[in-house]
Structure 1
Amino acid sequence: MRVLLAGATGMIGQALLHRLRAAGHEVVLGVRGVEAAQRQWPGAPVVELDFSDPGQSRDWPALLAGIDAVINAVGIFREQGSQTFDALHVKGPGALFEAAADAGVERIIQLSALGAEPGNEAAYLASKGRADAALLELDITATVVQPSLVFAPQGPSTRWFALLAALPVTPLPGGGKQRIQPVHLDDLVDAIVRLLDSESPPRRLHAVGERALTLREYLDCFKQALGFARGFVPVPLRWTRAMARLLALRRDSLVTPEALRMLEAGNTVDPDAFAAVLGRRPLQAPAFFDGLPRGMMRRTAQLGWLVPLLRHAVAIMWVVTGVVSAFVFPVESSLDLLARTGLVGVPALLALYGAAALDVALGVGLWVTSRRRWIYRLQLALIVFYTVVITLCLPEYWAHPYGPVLKNLPLLAAIAVLHELDDGEGT
């Protein structure tokens, strides 16, 4: 079967691509960036399919020529710029579905989400629900697959849960009583591939794990599998909601007020229909970790909170140092020290306040940009410069009992670690 896979570069899309090929299907990749996809999958047929561009003209008959089935795996969890729920979840897929029906495509599989309904209060679920409803109104064999929370080692949500489990004490919003029914990525893609060969596929399919469990139980699975201490602390929902509003200020954050509302609402279903399509019982949470590189997952989860902790600590150090130098420490004392380096008068004042401003800028920079490597390099160069000047002009500070210069050595090491490990992702 020749399959057009929209959203082939996403986490689920890539897993589907490998599984479809393994099952003997020819896959046409529908992607936003054609050149990047061609480099990643040389020789694979690739077509441009950018739902975020409402003005993009598409020759649907040519694009769908020879296509037997369409799978739509396009999806975003948060809107950014032209990538809106309306464009990517509703209008773009709707145009594709109608064109596929007109072109005589045999079947369509729409990847939606558990709980998606046109009238849902959550914009993400509502947009998915509108696309689902539009598809099922068409005169074509179609299945709307509605997965629960998807477990995948490389998935953003899975990495977030692993990070929470790695914390010395894991916070539980509202005590962690919310009920979820996570499904393994392998089970999800296996079921979708089997739907292509089904003579009478269901109109809707809820893709869920074998059993429902609470958020606390799910996080405890991570703790047990990855070897973390099993400490939890309940957090009142009003505090969690306030934190969600704060974290939502970051464009890449998965924690938003809407995500928290969806978690609080919960959504669990009977897994029997999914098991019937899958041909076996779906995996349940403890078995998700079987055969995975747990040591690597453990280390990634630890770095997920340790690296941001170190970055924020270094940023605070730079900002406070600059403020203290400019406004707290006696100016006369600072000028006396600068005089011993050969700077007096206006040059000394410029050096004092210029260095203080630079310190603050280097600290604030770590909070306002994700391109931080050049900031770390400036910090390293500045600390080395300060250390050389002090060594030449104020060598007695090496023998100071508080070690003001000696502490530059672990600080240099900490910034070098951040330079190598802080890739601009995470909080």
Structure 2
Amino acid sequence: MKVLVLGGYGLIGEAVLERLVDDGHDLLGLGRDVRAARRRWPGVQWIAADMSRLLAATDWIPLLAGMDVVVNAAGALQDGPRDQLDAIHRGAVTALVTACEQAGAPGLVQISAIGADLASESAFFRTKAEGDAVIMVSSLDWTILRPGLVIAPAAYGGTALLRALAAVPGFIPVVFADRPIQTVSVADVAEAVSRAVAGRLERGQVIDLVEEKPRPLSAVLLAFRAWLGLPERPVVAMPAIFGRAAGLVADGLGLLGWRSPLRGAALAALERGVTGDATAWTSSAGRPPRPLEATLAAMPAHVQERWFARLWLLKPLVLGVLSVFWLASGLVGFVRWDAAADILVSHGLSPALARAAVLAGSAADTLVGAAVLLRPLAARALKAMMAITFFYLVAATVFAADLWLDPLGPLVKAVPALCLALLALATLDER
């Protein structure tokens, strides 16, 4: 069959895509940035499009030509510069349903979320439920799947945070440690989608995809630590105010384009617990979704998982340190431009050229120090930091080589800053 997969390179979407490829379907993938997806999945046809802008049935009609089934694995956690929940979860879905009915594409598999509720105070759960409601009253052959906490070999968002917290040395800090959690393997989500696409699930069902028994969040973290092969450490329950403070910071960073799993919407979902009813899936599949222990056993951790877990929480620290370092360097240059210019004059530059060089360098330092905090500009800012540092080192070597022997080591200390920017750039990818 011909299947259109929305969000085909996300945590769930890529696992679904892989399963449907194995099933022999002809796939069309859709997402905002599909360049990397094209390289990873060259046998899939890809279309770059932003769902939040596909708000009319006519926007979808050309994409549905010849399609038998649409799988919607797209979604966002919280409103931000790149995400509009109402547009993605309700507006685009409404337009898609209308287009499917008009184009004669009868099948729609919607990957929703445990906790989707029209009365929810959370915009995420409310808009998910609004999209589900539109599907449920349509004439399509629909299936709505609501996964619990999805565990996958890939690490993104909340699953990355779990790995990072589990790898903290000394003790495992956690808010809402006693909240009940039901996980689901991404392989079971892909299996459910495969069955729905092939018509091996009864149509018109809303199915929770969760392991049978809930466990406290603290137990989930201990299971992840054991999976990483790290020595057992105690879980320390942190006051909820710590989580809410982190949420406020993460929400602020969200305005700069960073998609932290610590944002308020995620913490609110965690506070209420992640639970569902496995009965419908167990009845349809003849078995419950696999428990967390089996999920982790099926994806053994190696050194790369331990590296990722340890580096993940260091990433914002590295970026923050770089920003402060470069901003401070730029501001000091502006405040003490005369003293800095005197150093250059003492090495043979004219006073006018020395002043211009100091002011230009201070402006560049300040600019990249601020730009690295903006997610869309972070990669370019890090590359600029490395280029500027390299230029400083070369210029100083040519015009003031004695600074390499300065007791305070201004040039020697630039080398670790260069390496830190390189590390930040290497770990910048989010998925």
Same fold (TM over 0.5): yes
* Contact 2:56–2:95, Cα closer than 8 Å, also in 1: no
The equivalences for 1:164-183 within 5 A come to 164-168=165-169, 169-174=171-176, 176-183=177-184
Which aligned pairs between 1:5-16 and structure 2 lie closer than 5 A?
5-16=5-16
Structure 1 residues 44-77: Cα deviation after superposition (integer angstroms, max 9, x where no partner) = 56678753233572474x7656544333222222
* Maintained 8 Å contact 1:366/1:375: no
Number of aligned residue pairs: 416
CA distance in structure 2 between the aligned counterparts of 1:64 and 1:19, rounded to whole angstroms: 21
Judge conservation of contact 1:365–1:375 (CA < 8 Å) in 2.
Answer: no
Q: Offset of 1:165 from its aligned partner? A: 2.4
Residue pair 1:226, 1:297 contacting (<8 A) in 2 also: yes
Pairwise CA distance, 1:285: 2.0
Computed over aligned residues only, the root mean square deviation of the Cα atoms, in angstroms, reads 3.5
Paired with 2:181 and 2:364, the residues of 1 have a C-alpha distance of 48
Cα 1:404–1:275 shift into 2, 3 Å? same
2:136, 2:209 → 1: CA distance? 18
- Alpha-carbon separation, structure 1, partners of 2:243 and 2:150: 23
Q: Please, which runs of 5 or more residues in structure 2 have no aligned partner? A: none
What is the match of residue 245 of structure 1? Answer: 248
Equivalent-residue separation in structure 1 for 2:72 and 2:368 (angstroms): 44
In the alignment, is the contact (CA less than 8 A) between 2:368 and 2:384 conserved in 1?
Answer: no
| 2:215 aligned to which of 207, 213, 216 | 213
Tell me which amino acid in the other structure corresponds to 2:30. Answer: V
Which amino acid in structure 1 is aligned with residue 269 of structure 2? M
One-letter amino acid of the structure 2 residue matched with residue 198 of structure 1: R
| 1:84 and 2:84 matched | yes
2:22 matches 1:22 = yes
Equivalent residue letter for 1:383: L
Moved more, 243-252 or 63-72: 63-72
Following superposition, the deviation at residue 323 of structure 1 comes to 3.9
Stretch deviating more after TM superposition (300-309 or 78-87): 78-87
Distance 1:317 1:50 in 2: 36
Aligned to 2:263, which of 221, 242, 256? 256
Measure the CA separation in 1 of the matches of 2:33 and 2:251.
31
Of 359, 376, 395, the residue aligned with 2:386 is 376
User: For the residues of structure 2 that align with 1:375 and 1:409, how far apart are their CA atoms?
Assistant: 12
Instruction: Judge conservation of contact 1:3–1:27 (CA < 8 Å) in 2.
Output: yes
Q: TM-score, normalised by structure 1?
A: 0.82
What's the CA shift string for 1:319-365, capped at 9, x where partnerless?
33444455479x66x56644431246555544555544444444334
SS at match of 1:222: helix
Question: Following TM superposition, by how much is the alpha carbon of 1:111 offset from its aligned partner in structure 2, in angstroms?
Answer: 1.2
Deviation at 1:145, TM superposition (A): 0.8
What SS does the corresponding residue of 2:271 show, helix, strand or coil?
A: helix
The 8 Å contact of residues 389 and 414 in structure 2, kept in 1 or not, is answered as no
Q: Distance in 2 between matches of 1:406 and 1:388?
A: 15
Tell me if structure 2 keeps the 8 A contact 1:38–1:44. yes
Assess if the C-alpha contact under 8 Å between 1:6 and 1:49 holds in 2: no
In structure 2, C-alpha distance between the alignment counterparts of 1:49 and 1:9, rounded to whole Å: 13
State the Cα distance separating 1:121 from its structure 2 match: 1.0
Q: 1:312 is matched with which residue? A: 320
TM-score by length of 2: 0.82
Q: Which runs of 5+ in 1 are unaligned?
A: none
CA distance in 2, matches of 1:404, 1:182: 51
Q: Which residue number corresponds to residue 300 of structure 2?
A: 292
The 1-side partners of 2:239 and 2:319 are apart by 28
Matches within 5 A, 1:338-417: 338-343=344-349, 345-368=351-374, 369-371=377-379, 372-391=382-401, 394=402, 398=405, 400=407, 403-417=409-423
| Structure 1 pair 338–198 and aligned structure 2 pair: CA distance change class (3 A) | closer
CA contact (8 A) 1:362 1:379 kept: no
Give identity over the alignment, percent. 28
Partner of 2:193: 192
CA distance in 2, matches of 1:82, 1:12: 19
2:398 and 2:17 map into 1 onto residues whose CA distance is 56
Larger Rg belongs to: 1
